[in-house]
Amino acid sequence: MDSPIQAVRRYPSKPADVYLFATCLVDQFAPDAGLDAVRLLEREGIRVHFPQAQTCCGQPAYTSGYPDEARAVAVAQMKLFPEPWPVIVPSGSCGAMMRHHYPKLFADDPAHLPVAEELAERVFELTEFLVHVVNFQRADRGDPYTVALHTSCHARREMNAHLTGHALLAGLDQVTVVRQVREEECCGFGGTFSLKHPSISEAMVTEKVESLRATGAERVLSADCGCLFNILGRAEYLDKVAACSKPSLPGEHIASFLWRRTGGGEQ
């Protein structure tokens, strides 16, 4: 393992309260994933606080050459987490933005830097938090099933979340994870990259869809909605072109899958 973050962060004990920073994509396009993340945490006896004023982590501007706009949006988020509770983010990419890039964004801004640094310390990607802080141990309640996991680049290289994603799935007895070729390779999303360089993005996502389909897994999972929408949107498009009525590559956020497999919704 050779990643910027080597050290696994654990909390002294499982906290009673956490914040959820859902991300703009989950809020608008995948609210079920966010809701399932909340349910997973609550079932562990954790109160989840969702500041209603939250919007976006600021990454789109940060990676597009607009740091001032990114800072403005980041500052608006940084105010929302006053209590010293962990901030759980159901996205490796947005989590990494807050954990690693906020301090860089405010490196020359002494007024905001301490807040950014303090916040960064308690930002956790969801699967990271479930494995290392919650010590998630729920038993699998479903039938035998196969899945493939897309380990997004920022989740993998900045949050080590590919390890925790696989660890959670390995804990499900009846679920077999089928490894895809080049699992570590990018799906070609890259935020505005997918719009700026469509032909390269197409080449990348098409190969990712092919390698995921080739696993024969019944479902693809990811802890990042951006990548997931990219992959699923491409797969669906290809299905349409091929006039294929059954989705060749269904998929969802790992939080939803985990919630369902461990008996969520049964109570």
Q: Which positions lie near other proteins, rule CB under 8 A? A: 1-3, 22, 24, 26-32, 34-35, 38, 50, 52-56, 58, 60-69, 72-73, 75-76, 104, 153-154, 157-158, 184-186, 188-206, 229-230, 233-234, 236-237, 240
Closer residue to other proteins (CB): 172 or 208: 208
Closer residue to other proteins (CB): 175 or 257: 257
Signed CA dihedral, 75, 76, 82, 83: sign only: negative
CB 5 to other proteins: min, Å: 12
Closer residue to other proteins (CB): 163 or 204: 204
Whole-number Å distance between alpha carbons of 195 and 184: 22
The residues, any chain, with a CB within 8 Å of residue 105's CB and separated by 6 or more, are: 58, 62, 67, 70, 71, 74, 116
Closer residue to other proteins (CB): 142 or 233: 233
CB 155 to other proteins: min, Å: 11
CB 186 to other proteins: min, Å: 4
Whole-number Å distance between alpha carbons of 167 and 164: 5
CB 258 to other proteins: min, Å: 17
Closer residue to other proteins (CB): 140 or 185: 185
HEC sequence for 30-57: CHHHHHHHHHHHHHCCCEEECCCCCCCC
CB 50 to other proteins: min, Å: 5
Helices (H), 6-151: 24-29, 31-43, 59-62, 67-78, 92-96, 102-105, 113-121, 126-129
CB 151 to other proteins: min, Å: 11
Closer residue to other proteins (CB): 71 or 132: 71
Report which of 209, 37, 19 is spatially closest to residue 98, judged by C-alpha positions.
19
Whole-number Å distance between alpha carbons of 225 and 230: 8
Stated as kind and residue range, the H or E segment containing 267 is none
Closer residue to other proteins (CB): 83 or 173: 83
Whole-number Å distance between alpha carbons of 20 and 259: 17
CA atoms within 13 A on the CB side of 246: 3
CB 203 to other proteins: min, Å: 4
